[in-house]
Amino acid sequence: MATLAPGLRGTATGSVAADNTAIALGSGDVPVYGTPALVALMEKAAVCALGDRLGPDETTVGTWIEVNHLAATPVGLEVRAEAELVAVEGRQLSFVLTAFDSRQKIGEGRHHRALLSRERFLAKLQEEV
């Protein structure tokens, strides 16, 4: 099992384009960075915080997220999400999330991921199909 401890940090970056606007994602009708895209970027930052610290058969899956989308970001701007691992309780990992565009803070939140065996997870999933 991976040795994970609070303090690990990860970053994910992207840019706002037509395909990740609220219009394109169906989460609104204005051409700004869509909340589903913000959530995905924040989750990616949490995954990046774990880096190569997981064992060969280990993975994590998102189990809970709470996000405040604080400001609109127009097409063309770069976005960055940061995640910090703040607690490890057994197989549950808790993160604090923040996101920015080139002008301001655009989001904040909290996220939980579960550490598990990739092989067992996929096998169980196949049983349910």
Active centre residues (catalytic) = 35, 43, 69
Tell me if residue 94 falls in helix, strand or coil. Answer: strand
Characterize 3-29 residue by residue with b for buried, 16 or more Cβ atoms within 10 angstroms of its Cβ, and e for exposed. Answer: ebeeebebebebebeeebbbeeeebee
| Maximum alpha-carbon separation in the chain | 48
